[in-house]
Amino acid sequence: MEDIAASTIMKNVAKGDENAFRELYEQFGGYVFKSVVLSLRDYAVAEELAQTIWLKIWRFAKKYDPSRPFKPWLSRIISNELISHYRSKKPVNSSLEDMQEVGFEPVDNNQDSQETMLQKDLSMEIEKALDSLTDNQRQVIVLKYYQGLKIREIAETLSIGESAVKARLYGALEALSEMAKKAENG
């Protein structure tokens, strides 16, 4: 139902109707922002990304096929934006790039090996543990357990194979459950 209504609204958004756009925002603004916040865990950046996402919805509304459900289309835009954010997310300084040229690829904090992570804090709660996942893992977790997508849909959304989705998901779940166990025992 929600999707049918959204498809109708989108037809008007495609025509440049700002009221329709506003209506769409009222319906999905929270969903978009929350999806981004949960994937990024950073409000400020999330706000910026959400803004970009909505601008894209506005700009690409014409490309949306109203005969298809709206939410997957929206998820795709959200995911694309997140992915391009992850790609661009490098500490902002030139010396680091210099380092990479020399053959050092800086480690992302999120990519701590599981062992180190566990050593850090055994009593971590799950949501804190989510922080320790890689961007890719966390994104898949949010797509699956917050946005409620199936593996196939996640694969479509992220333009990757289903086996890659499964691997990421499985890796993330394994890490989370390990941590949960440790937390319980600790």
Partner 1 sequence: MDSCKITREKLIEYLEGTLSPKQDEQVREHISTCTTCRRHLEELSKLSNVLTSRLEQKADSVELPPMLWGKILKSVQENKKQSKVAVWWKVAAGVAAALAIMFTGTFAPVFGKEGNLLNVMSGSIVNGPVEELVESFSDDLLGQLKKSHVFVQFQNDTGVTDEQRWELIEKGYTPGDIVLTLVITKEGDWTFDEVVESRDEGYGWGRIANWAGISILSVAGTVASLLGSMKEEVDSKTEFEVDSQVEGFDDSGNLVLSDFNSPIPFDENNIELVDEDGTTPINPSDLPEFGANLTFRIVDGKPHPQMIKRQRQPHDAPPPNHIVLKVKIESVDADGLTVVDDNGFTRKVIIIREQSGVLVEPKVGDTVVMAIFAPAPDRQILKSMRPPLHQRPPHFSPQDPPPPFPPGDDNQASEGGFDTPKTDSQPDDAQKPEIKGAPKAEPLPENRGDSKHRDNDNVIEGVDEDNNTNTSGDGSASDNERFEDKIVTFESFDRGRIATDSGEYLLGDGCNVLIKLVEEEIVIRPEILNRVKSGTKLSISGVGDVIGLIKVDIQLDRGRYRFLNYNALENQIQVLDNDRNQISFACDSSSTFIPNLRDFRKGFRVEIFSRDGFIFILRLEQQPMDSGEPINGEIEKITNDGFMVNDRKFDVIPGTTDFILVDPRRQGQGQDKQPISFDDLEPGMPVTVVVYHKDNSGILALRVVVLTQKPGEGAGGSPNNDMKKKIVDYRWDTANNGALILTLSSGANIKIDSDTPVLKVIQDKVTGPVALKDLRSINLNGLFVQFKVGQRGKIVELRIHFPE
Query: CB 83 → partner 1: shortest distance, Å?
Result: 19
Q: Which of 5, 51, 84, 159 binds partner 1 (CB under 8 A)?
A: 51
124 binds partner 1 (CB under 8 A): no
Tokens of 119: 């050593």
The C-alpha atoms of residue 121 and residue 125 are separated, in whole angstroms, by 9
140 binds partner 1 (CB under 8 A): no
Q: Which of 6, 10, 20, 21 binds partner 1 (CB under 8 A)?
A: 21
Among the listed ranges 2-10, 24-32, 62-70, 75-83, the one in contact with partner 1 (CB under 8 A) is 24-32
Among the listed ranges 2-10, 66-74, 80-88, 140-148, the one in contact with partner 1 (CB under 8 A) is 140-148
Query: CB 8 → partner 1: shortest distance, Å?
Result: 20
